[in-house]
Each structure stands twice: as C-alpha cells, then as structure tokens.
Structure 1
Amino acid sequence: MSTATIDWQRHFMMLADGIGQALGPGETALTTLAAEQSDFVRFNAGKVRQIGHVSQGTLTVRLIEDERQAYSTLTICGDAQADRDAIADTLATLREALRDASPDPHLLVDSSVWTETTRRRGRLPDIESLLDVVERCAARLDFVGFYAGGSMARGFASSHGSRGWYEVENFNFSGSLYDATGRAIKTAYAGDTWRDETFASRIEAAAARLPVLARTPRTPGPGRYRAWLAPAALAELIGTASFTAFSARQQATARSEFYRLNRGEASLDERVTLIEDLDLDIAPRFSEDGYRRETVPLIDAGRGAQQLTNARTAREYGLRPNGAPASEMPVSLSMQGGDLADADVLAALDTGLYVGNLWYVNFSDRMDCRLTGMTRFATFWVEHGEIVAPVDAMRFDDSLYRLLGSELERLGATTELLLNDSTWNERSTGGMRLPGLLARSFSLTL
C-alpha cells in the first residue's frame, strides 16, 4: 500500500484494537503513534537546492504487567497484515523482556477511559506555487531558507479504552537574507494558513534593512544597554529556561531555575504571565502515560503558579499529574502581550540595541536563571529611534529574573507564533506564542 494513501487515524485505531485483543490476563498496553506526510524544500542563493517528500509512521508499544514495563518502537508501513505481524513479534519480544524486568516503583498509568480528538486542516501552498513565490520574492537577493510543511498526526490508545487523536496541517519557513559582507537578516513564517502576501511582506521588510548591514558595524563595550528583544530572541531565552524551570521534579529537588519564584521568595513584573496553553492547538491534548494534558498557569502576574507534573513525578513526590510529558517541558507556551505597538518599537527604544535573534544560549548561573549566549543576525544599534548600524556578534550574560522583572519596561502588543522547527527523526509539534520585550538594560560582557 502506498503510504501517501494511508488514513492514519483509521489504521492506528485498528492496530490498537488488535493489540488490546492480543493481551493476556494482567497485561496493559499503551500505544502511541507519530506520523507525518511532509514536504521539505531547501533554498540557497534564492534557488532550490534540495526538495523532497516524507511519508512515515512509527508505533511505540508499551507493555505493563505487575508494575513491570517494557516498550519497543517500530516503523509501520500502512499494510494491515504486515503491521499486525510486526506487532505480534513485538509483543512476544516485550513479554520476554518483562521476565527480567524489575518492578518500577514510580510507574503510574491513568486507567480512566476518555476520548480526545483534534483534527485541523490548514491551507498550505502546493510546491509549485511555493517555488514561484520564493523565486519572485527573492529575485536579486542572496536568500537562504528552509520550508517544512504538511500533515502531522499523533495517536494514543490504552487497553483500558482511552483513545486520543491529534492531526493538523501546518508549515514552518525560516530564511535569511545575506549581504556582500556575509552578515544576514533572519526571518521566519509559520502557521496553518499560508498567504503569499504575508511571506512577501516579511521578505520585503527584511530586504529593506539590508543596506544597514553594509555600514561600519558598532561594537559596544561591556555594559548594560537599553534593548528590544524581538519574539525570536525572547524565545531563545525562555526556551532554554523551559528545559527545567517549570518542572515539578526539578522544583521538588530544588534544581529549578525558578525555584525561588515558585517558593514565593522572588517575583517578576506583574505584567508577566506564562501559560502552558493547550488552547493554542499546536500540541496533542494527551500524554504518553494516558493522561489528558491540562492548560497550566506557570507564572501568574509575575508570581510562580504551578509546575508541569508527569505521572512518574506525581507518584514519587505525592503530586497530582497534569498530563505533562516525561521531560516536564512546556510544549505549548504562551505569554501575555503588552501595549507596545510594532510601529512604536524603535521610538520607545530610542537609543540602544535592537536584538532580532540570539544563539548558543546556555546557563551561566542556574539558580539565578542567568543565561549567556551570543547576539546573532539582525542585531542593530539604534539612535534616537533610527537604526544606524549593525552590531558585531556580542556575548551577553543576564538573568530572566532581571529581564522579566526590574528591567522590563514594556511588552510588545503583537504576539508571534513560533512553531517548533525541529525535524530530527520527524517534524515536531508544539512551540510558543510570545511578544517582544523592551528592557531598560541588557548586559553585554564582551
């Protein structure tokens, strides 16, 4: 059977029903699916350099008996009999593995029965029209970019009877415009409704700033500068902190970067509200442990609220699971915007740094939620509300306690959807919706 014709939901539910029927007394199965049908296009110098289509599905079967568990992941092809045979072999292998497995003291599985379905069709460009619009917009520009778009599906089934399905169509296009000096301005466009005019306007806005890159760059010395952090730059900071800062396990072991915030010993600006927001519909509403994911307030009006708690953490520390993934990282993070309109950003900044992107971000002091990294493409020096020069790559070192606290002057009124652009093994779900941030000071170290 051609994978392009697979009805993944129907096929997955059929396989899950078969797994349930094949179980013996005392056995429980949790089955998850990750599938996609995606187009990929890579551009270099405004020309197509690589193009392809991927249609794939992987099934993970988790077998549980007497608090012992084993799991295996296999590729499925869409042929009913071939996939049933592969699953039968997998179950036999898992039963052998369970014989030598030790009881898992932190195993916790939701045995309730529920049904959760999200299906959303997008309006994506066909590949021929995509190539046409890129060629037209990138004419006479040194444009480098990568497009990934199509359908993604995630499924969950438990032998207790729960069924979850998530299937969406969306796209992610990131690109850069280079000038003769090798400097670049980065742009991105993501969502589920493609509009040629929106893509064109983003390329046009980036191209309008290319002449600035040819000017003599500024190299500010170490110190603190007024700064506008665009949503993509703020995402690098909050995204890095999110690896552990909102985890219930990290909080319980005093290793969360927001440990003091969550204990009420510190606070941020009252305009800061961060939510694990399932209503964004950019991630499934169910976890691999069989729990429905919940919308969770993480920071409410500058104060620590709740943490993301998966099933294992809940059992070990006597907490209630809220459907968080095993990593206890947010997968659908939203931040409330403010009152600073896009058109007023430069005037409000007046003189200082316009930071479009950051990279190589890592922690320099975890317990102060202090991060270090480098400024990247589209970082400019602004004087009296006008962009006057590019800024050479600089190292920063600053704390989110400061940037989201004492140094937060204003938040952007427009929030930007930044989808997870990882394609390692498969296209990823999830992402963030964030505003930009005007900081009274942002610390450069060299």
Structure 2
Amino acid sequence: MAASFLQNFQALVAWLRDNVNAPEQFTLSYAGEHSQFIRFNHARVRQAGDVHQSSASLKLIADGRQAELNLTLSGDADIDRQRLGEALAQLRQTLPLIPPDPYLLLNDSAWESHDQQEQPLPDSASVLKQIEAGAGDLDLVGIYAAGPICRGFASSSGAFGWHQANSFNFDWSLFHANGQAVKANYAGQVWDDELFARRLAQAREQLDYLGRPLKTLAPGQYRAYLAPAALEEIVGMLGWGGFSAQSIANKHSPLQRLYSGEASLSPLVNLAEQVSGSLSPAFSEEGYPRSDLRLIDQGRALEQLTNARSAAEFQRQANGAEPWESPSALSMAGGELAEADVLAQLGTGLYISNLWYLNYSDLPAARMTGLTRFACFWVEDGQIHAPVSTMRFDDSVYSLLGTQLEALTQERELMLSTSTYGQRQTGSNHLPGALVKRLTLTL
C-alpha cells in the first residue's frame, strides 16, 4: 500500500518537472495514510473502518512571489495529473496578482532522503482479543488507530524526500460507576503484549482507587509526581513559541529568560528534537532537511527551531522547522528514579496522572495554570489513599522543571499524537515522569 503512495507521488513529481519551466519553480508536499480505526464502548467494538487518503500541496514560485494550492488526490494517476494541471494553471493566474514575498527563502539544493519504517503492524484480531480479555466487563471507551503514514517533498531544484512509517495508537479510558475515569494510552511501532497488559493492569488498579471517597485539598504547595502524560501537557505548552526562533527574536517566547541566559532549569533537564528514529519525516514542508537538535542541555538553552522565513528575517540558518516552529519529535532524557519506586519516593503528596486546560498565567515567567484530570491521587507513606477532587495549579516551569525538580524516571513513555483532524499526524513526545518537591495548587 505504501508503494502505491510512493508511485503516485513520483508520478506527480515527474509531471511537474516536465511542465514547470524556468524561471518558474515549484515545491510539492505530499501526505498519505491507510488507517484502520476501531472505536470501543463498554470494551466492545462499536465501529470499525478503513481510511485510505492522500493529498498534496503545490507551491509555484517566480519573480520573488509564491502562491500555494492544496489538492485532495484520488489515487488514480490520470485524474490526479488532471487536478495537478488545473492547480498549476490556477497558480499561474494568481502569481502576478500578489506582491513579492520579502521573506521568501528557497532551498535550492538537490538533497535526497528516503526513510521506510516497515515494522509489522499488529494483527487487529489479536489486538481485539487482548483488549477484550484484559478489560473483561469494565466500561472501556477508546479508539484504536493503526496503519502506514506517508510524507513526501519534491522541488524543481531536484530535492526529493520520502518518509513512511507504520504505527499504532490505542487511546482509552476506564470509567467507574461513579463517573470518575482513568485515562491511558499505548502507542508505538511494535506491539508488545506484555507491555500493553501492564498498562491495562495499572489502569485497572487505579480504577479501583476511584471508588474511594474523594479527598479535597486546601490550596497550597504539595509534593507531587507528574506522570509522563501530565508532563506532556507542560512541555506541550512550551512548544507554543518556547523554542521558536521567531518568538525568541521578537521576545515573545515563554522561555525568553532561558535563551537570554537570565535563568536556567534543573541540570536533570535535557530536551531534544529527536528526528532520527521518530515517526516524523527528516525534511520539512518547506523543503529543508531536518536533523536532531539539542534544545536544552543540562538545564541550559541551546538550539532553536528555525524555519525558512525566520531564517530570512533574522539572518539565521534554517534547520527544517515547520512554519509554526514547534517540536514534532520531542524527547526528554530519563533520570535515575525507577518507576516501581515512584510512590515510595513520593512519600506523602500528589500522584498526578493527567493535566488539562493549560494556559499561561504569566508568559514571560513561564508560569502556567491548568486543572488536574483523571486519576489523580493523594498518597501517604508511599501508598495511594484516595482520589483527589479536581484542583487548579499555577506554577512556573522554572520551578517545576527547575528549582523544585527532584528526579526523573528511568522509564520513558512514547506518546504519539492522537489527532485525526483531517488526517493522522506524525508528532510524538518521548518523556519520563517527574518528581517535584513543590507544586502550587490555587483552588
């Protein structure tokens, strides 16, 4: 199936190279997927189906101007060539009507990149059998998505990139009769029966605790453990301009003080845009090759995410960041705390499985606010005692991942993007859990 995507893309590129003539230049971005979706309710399959789709984005450049048009493709070579020809004609009419782009910076190198990650996808029947056996009569609600995702890029300068990766993503919740829920996820490229069984067993154990009376905490500062899913919400917020060359240059970054050298995080914090081995392509939609970037090393800011426009505007080197300059394959190094020792090391405090509705309460100070969500527990003497009612936190990253960070877990969790808006995404976060000496709850 991936071969047909590649052949379709190659045919479109060949047609463009025969029909776009200097001084015109083109770039063509391609996206395709063949995904199986299975929806669950009460641990039973309620809906199943396949999605086989592809699309392309054609950009025409001439005389310092550029115009772009998005196409939905059919997979039929003749029909898609016709659509591409109509798009090219439309762009030729549009281009003279728009002003020159002062920040147009094309990559005119003829690079090549080909990455075909063909790990065997899990057999759907065996996955369903394991889910049904593990969940039993629990109220499990979720969605399982699996299949290859493809990305391509080509230009009139001779650049050609192809990326295809097989992956699966099972995102589910277990609901208690009292309406409380445990949220969990298992994603990756190689399905491990034993690992999934442990994830499901942990969710079942947490579900039992949700039957206990809720504990209401007073506002204040508490020792806390942030599970990888909770930490993902925090580092995800940092992606909103935190590592962006444009935001940093305009002094709008929440990590402005970090990049200016006025502040630092804990030496335990090492963050990278880890393109190699990830599900993200090693090239951007703008036609720049991507490589691994060290964003934060031992708590100190290093590299920034720089797209072509930022490179032109601020005289920097483009490094393959997308226009929004957010990480797409973020990886945080683990620490020395064994996951099995988390509760004992926490002692008395909060075990936070999830956070949600995060936003900045003070962006220059990297201060965030949000709510606890799903299976958050009060722990005493290393034992879970009670679920905690929903609370709001308000704290700075310079505290949570800085002065108050005590330890990171050895084990890390790979979390793939669950977004299916328009198409499945290739974004990922690979994160440990974090033990913090103090988290501020406000109400």
What is the TM-score of this pair, normalised by structure 1?
A: 0.98
Report the alpha carbon displacement of residue 127 of structure 1 after superposing the two structures with TM. 2.6
Matching residue of 1:326: 323
Q: Is the 8 A contact 2:2 2:150 kept in 1?
A: no
Report how far residue 176 of structure 1 moved.
1.1
> Which one of the candidate residues 281, 303, 308 is aligned to 1:306?
303
Structure 1 position 115 matched with structure 2 position 112: yes
Q: Which residue of 2 aligns with 1:55?
A: 52
What secondary structure sits across from 1:414 in the alignment?
Answer: strand
Q: How is 1:369-388 mapped onto 2 (pairs within 5 angstroms)?
A: 369-388=366-385
Listed as ranges, the matches of 1:270-419 within 5 Å are 270-419=267-416
Q: Name which of 189, 199, 203 aligns with 1:202.
A: 199
Partners of 1:202 and 1:264 lie apart in 2 by: 40
Distance 1:306 1:126 in 2: 41
Match of 2:257 among 255, 260, 277: 260
Match in the other structure for 2:123: 126
In the aligned structure 1, how far is the partner of 2:207 from the partner of 2:270?
35
Q: What are the within-5 Å matches in structure 2 for residues 50-199 of structure 1?
A: 50-199=47-196
Q: Which amino acid aligns with 1:218?
A: K
- What percentage of residue pairs aligned between the two structures are identical? 47
Q: Is the 8 A contact 1:123 1:194 kept in 2?
A: no
Query: CA contact under 8 A between 1:280 and 1:332: conserved in structure 2?
Result: no
Shift of 1:186: 1.3
Q: Which runs of 5+ in 2 are unaligned?
A: none
Give the secondary-structure state (helix, strand or coil) at the position aligned to 1:49.
strand
Give the alignment of 1:1-80 within 5 angstroms: 7-80=4-77
Deviation at 1:378? 1.3
Asked if the contact 1:378/1:390 (under 8 Å) is kept, the reply is: yes
Pick aligned residue for 2:429 from 428, 432, 439: 432
TM-score w.r.t. the length of structure 2 is: 0.98
State the Cα deviation string for residues 75-119 of structure 1 (Å, max 9, x = none). Answer: 111111111111111100000010201100001010001100110
Structure 1 spans left out of the alignment, 5+ residues: none
In the TM superposition, what is the alpha-carbon distance from 1:210 to its structure 2 partner?
Answer: 2.1
Distance 2:29 2:208 in 1: 50
Structure 2: distance between partners of 1:225 and 1:300: 28
Give the corresponding residue for 2:245. Answer: 248
Contact 2:175 2:182 in 1 (8 A): yes
C-alpha separation in 2, matches of 1:88 and 1:107: 24
| Contact 1:108 1:289 (C-alpha < 8 Å) held by counterparts | no
Post-superposition Cα deviations, 1:50-88, rounded to whole Å, max 9, x if no partner, equal: 211100000110000011011111111111111111111
Task: Indicate conservation of the 8 Å contact 2:181/2:375, yes or no.
Answer: yes
The 1:190/1:112 distance shift into structure 2, 3 A limit, reads same
Return 5-14 or 134-143, whichever deviates more: 5-14
Q: Deviations over 1:206-246 (max 9, x none)?
A: 11222211111111110010000001100001101212100
* Letter aligned with residue 72 of structure 1: L
- 8 A Cα contact 1:333 1:432, kept in partner: yes
Offset at residue 5 of structure 1 (A): 8.3
Distance 1:333 1:5, change over 3 A: closer
Q: 1:226 aligns with which of 218, 223, 226?
A: 223
Number of aligned positions between the proteins? 443
